[in-house]
Chains A and B, each alone.
Chain A
Amino acid sequence: MSVVFLFGMVIGLMALGVPVAISLGLSSVIFLMIYSDASLASIAQTLFSAFDGHYTLLAIPFFILASSFMSTGGVARRIIRFAIATVGHFKGGLAIASVFACMMFAALSGSSPATVIAIGSIVIAGMREVGYTKEFAAGVICNAGTLGILIPPSIVMVVYAAATDVSVGRMFLAGILPGLIAGLMLMIGIYITARVRGLPSQPWAGWGEFWGAARDAVWGLLLIVIILGGIYGGIFTPTEAAAVAAVYAFFIANFVYCDMGPFASPGKRGLAIVTRAISTFWHPDTKKTLFEAGKLTVTLMFIIANALILKHVLTEERIPQEIAQLILSAGFGPVAFLIAVNILLLIGGQFMEPSGLLIIVAPLVFPIAIQLGIDPIHLGIIMVVNMEIGMITPPVGLNLFVTAGVAAMSVMAVVKAALPWVGIMFIFLILVTYVPWISTVIPTALMGPEIITK
Chain B
Amino acid sequence: MQTAEQSALGRRTDQIEETLMAVLMGLMTLVTFANVIARYVFNDNLLWALETTVYLFAWMVLLGASYCVKKSLHLGVDMVISLLSPGTQKVVGLIAVSACLLFSVLLLKGAWDYWYPFATAQAFMEVDDIPMPGFLQFLATWLNEGERYEKIPRFIPYFALPLSLALLTFRFVQAGWRILQGTQISVIASHEAEDLLEETVQAADAANGGR
A290 to B28: give the CA distance in the assembly, Å: 11
Is residue B166 contacting chain A, with contact meaning CB distance below 8 A?
no
Is residue A71 contacting chain B, with contact meaning CB distance below 8 A?
yes
- Which of B19, B93, B111 is the most central at the interface, judged by chain A CB atoms within 10 Å of its CB? B111
Question: Pick the contact of B32 from A125, A239, A396 — CB < 8 Å?
Answer: A239
* Inter-chain contact B55/A52, CB cutoff 8 Å: yes
Task: Identify which of residues 86-127 in chain B touch chain A, using a CB-to-CB cut-off of 8 Å.
Answer: 92-93, 95-96, 99-100, 102-103, 106-107, 109-111, 113-115
Closest approach, in angstroms, between the C-beta of A190 and any C-beta of chain B? 22
* Inter-chain contact A51/B208, CB cutoff 8 Å: no
What A residues does B26 contact at CB under 8 A?
A: 286, 290
Question: Pick the contact of A247 from B29, B79, B203 — CB < 8 Å?
Answer: B29
Interface residues contributed by chain B, number (CB under 8 Å): 77
What B residues does A20 contact at CB under 8 A?
A: 74-77
A341 to B196: give the CA distance in the assembly, Å: 33
A71 to B200: give the CA distance in the assembly, Å: 8
What A residues does B79 contact at CB under 8 A?
A: 15, 395-396
What B residues does A352 contact at CB under 8 A?
A: 77
Closest approach, in angstroms, between the C-beta of B34 and any C-beta of chain A? 9
- Contacts A19-B188, A240-B35 known; A41 to B197 CB distance under 8 Å? no
- Which of A39, A74, A290 is the most central at the interface, judged by chain B CB atoms within 10 Å of its CB? A290
Task: Identify which of residues 50-102 in chain B touch chain A, using a CB-to-CB cut-off of 8 Å.
Answer: 50-51, 53-55, 57-58, 60-61, 64-65, 67-68, 73-81, 92-93, 95-96, 99-100, 102
* Inter-chain contact A17/B197, CB cutoff 8 Å: no
Is residue B144 contacting chain A, with contact meaning CB distance below 8 A?
no
A287 to B92: give the CA distance in the assembly, Å: 37
Please list the residues of chain B having a beta carbon within 8 angstroms of any beta carbon in chain A: 18-19, 21-26, 28-30, 32-33, 35-36, 40, 50-51, 53-55, 57-58, 60-61, 64-65, 67-68, 73-81, 92-93, 95-96, 99-100, 102-103, 106-107, 109-111, 113-115, 158, 160-161, 165, 186-189, 191-194, 196-198, 200-201, 203-208
Listed from nearest, the 3 A-B pairs whose CB atoms lie closest are A40-B110, A298-B64, A73-B207
Please list the residues of chain A having a beta carbon within 8 angstroms of any beta carbon in chain B: 13-23, 25-26, 29, 39-45, 47-48, 50-52, 55, 58, 61-62, 65, 71-74, 76-77, 113, 117-118, 121-122, 125, 235-236, 239-240, 243-244, 246-247, 259, 286-288, 290-295, 297-299, 301-303, 305, 351-353, 395-396, 398, 401-402, 405-406
* Besides A41-B110, A74-B207, A305-B61, 5 new A-B residue pairs in contact (Cβ under 8 A), listed by A number: A50-B58, A113-B196, A290-B21, A298-B67, A353-B75
